[in-house]
C-alpha cells in the first residue's frame, strides 16, 4: 500500500452510519446489511485487472464498499479521506483489501479550491493514469427552509454545495487530464432524493439534482473526446453506519418508506450499490451511457 497525503475529501454520507443494534428498534425489517462486500457476494473474476480506480469519499460507508468491490475485481484503487481524523479509517479500508491488492490513500477535501486537482494528480502520480472515476464524496445536513438560524442555513448551503456540487464538478474536470482514452468510466453517485425528495432536504436534494444533470450532460459531451462512458447510480436508503446513527425522528419518518419497498421491507446493503457501480465499470457495459440507475428495491422508479 502506498501512502500519499495532500488533500481532503468528505466521505459520502448518503444516509449516515450506525450499528445494527441501533437500527433494530427503528424497524424489524433489516438483516445484517452493514457487512463488507466480500462477505455478501461471491468473489468475481479479476475482470478489472490493470485498471486504476479513484473513488472520492471512500474511507467509510458506501465509498469504502465501492473500493472493496472494485479491488476484488482486480482494480488498483485510490482511497480518499477528508481530514487527519479519518486517516485510520482509510488505512483500515486499505488493509481489508488484502496483501495482494494495490492501493494508495490520499487525504483530500474536494470542497476546497485545490482539493479536486490535488486528489486527481496524486492518483496519477501513484499509478500513472485514471481509468475509473467514482464521484462518491458527499455530505448532508437536514434542515428546513424556514429554519430561524440564518447563519446555520448559510453555512450548510455553502458546505453542501461546495462538496456535492462544486467538488464533483471540479474533481471530474481535474481527472480528465489523466483519464485513459479507451474504455474509461465516470460514475456519479447521486441519490433517489433528486427525484423523490422529502421535507428538510432541499439543499441536499438540489445538489443531487445537479449531479444527475452533470451525468446527462457529460454523457453527451465526453465519450468521443475521452473514450469514456458517464453514468450515475442513485441509491435510496443504504444501511451504512451513518444511516443507523440518524436521529430517532428521522428514522421514525423513514420507517413507512422502508416497509413499503416493493422488493422487500429493508434498506439496501452498501455491497448492492457497490455491485451496480462495478457492473458499469466492466468492459461489457461499454454501451451503457447516460444512465441514472436507482438502487432502491423499487421504492424509487424512474
Q: In degrees rounded to 5, what are phi and psi of residue 130?
A: -130, 125
Could you give the CA distance from residue 122 to residue 140 in angstroms, rounded to a whole number? 27
CB crowding 293-302: b at 16 or more within 10 Å, else e: bbbbbebbee
Cell 479491488: give the residue: 71
Q: Catalytic residue, from 204, 214, 226, 244: name it.
A: 204
Q: Where would I find the H helices in the chain? A: 20-24, 37-40, 61-72, 87-96, 115-127, 150-160, 168-176, 202-221, 223-226, 241-244, 248-259, 270-281
Residues 35 and 49: their CA atoms lie apart, in Å, by 24
User: Is residue 226 annotated as a catalytic residue, yes or no?
Assistant: no
Catalytic annotation, residues: 204
Amino acid at each position: 500500500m502506498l501512502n500519499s497525503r495532500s488533500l481532503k475529501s468528505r466521505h459520502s454520507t448518503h444516509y449516515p452510519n450506525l450499528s445494527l443494534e441501533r437500527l433494530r428498534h427503528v424497524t424489524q425489517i433489516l438483516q445484517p446489511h452493514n457487512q463488507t462486500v466480500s462477505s455478501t457476494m461471491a468473489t468475481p473474476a479479476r475482470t478489472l485487472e490493470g485498471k486504476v480506480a479513484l473513488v472520492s469519499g471512500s474511507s467509510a460507508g458506501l465509498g469504502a464498499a465501492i473500493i472493496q468491490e472494485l479491488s476484488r475485481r482486480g482494480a488498483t484503487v485510490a482511497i480518499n479521506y477528508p481530514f487527519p481524523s479519518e486517516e485510520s479509517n482509510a488505512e483500515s479500508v486499505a488493509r481489508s483489501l488484502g496483501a495482494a491488492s494495490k492501493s494508495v490513500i490520499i487525504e483530500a477535501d474536494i470542497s476546497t479550491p485545490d482539493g479536486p486537482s490535488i486528489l486527481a494528480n496524486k492518483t496519477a502520480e501513484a499509478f500513472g493514469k485514471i481509468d475509473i472515476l467514482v464521484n462518491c464524496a458527499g455530505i448532508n445536513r437536514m434542515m428546513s427552509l424556514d429554519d430561524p438560524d440564518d447563519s446555520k442555513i448559510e453555512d450548510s448551503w455553502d458546505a453542501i454545495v461546495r462538496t456535492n456540487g462544486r467538488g464533483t464538478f471540479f474533481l471530474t474536470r481535474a481527472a480528465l487530464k489523466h483519464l485513459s482514452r479507451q474504455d474509461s468510466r465516470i460514475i456519479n453517485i447521486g441519490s433517489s432524493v433528486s427525484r423523490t425528495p422529502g421535507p428538510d432536504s432541499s439543499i441536499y436534494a438540489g445538489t443531487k439534482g445537479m449531479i444527475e444533470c452533470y451525468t446527462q450532460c457529460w454523457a453527451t459531451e465526453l465519450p468521443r473526446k475521452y473514450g469514456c462512458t458517464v453514468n450515475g447510480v442513485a441509491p435510496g436508503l443504504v444501511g451504512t453506519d451513518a444511516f443507523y446513527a440518524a436521529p430517532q425522528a428521522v428514522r421514525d419518518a423513514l420507517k413507512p418508506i422502508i416497509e413499503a419497498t416493493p422488493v422487500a421491507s429493508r434498506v439496501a446493503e452498501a455491497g448492492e450499490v457497490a455491485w451496480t457501480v462495478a457492473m458499469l465499470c466492466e468492459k461489457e457495459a461499454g454501451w451503457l451511457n447516460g444512465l441514472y440507475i436507482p438502487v432502491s428495491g423499487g421504492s424509487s422508479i424512474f
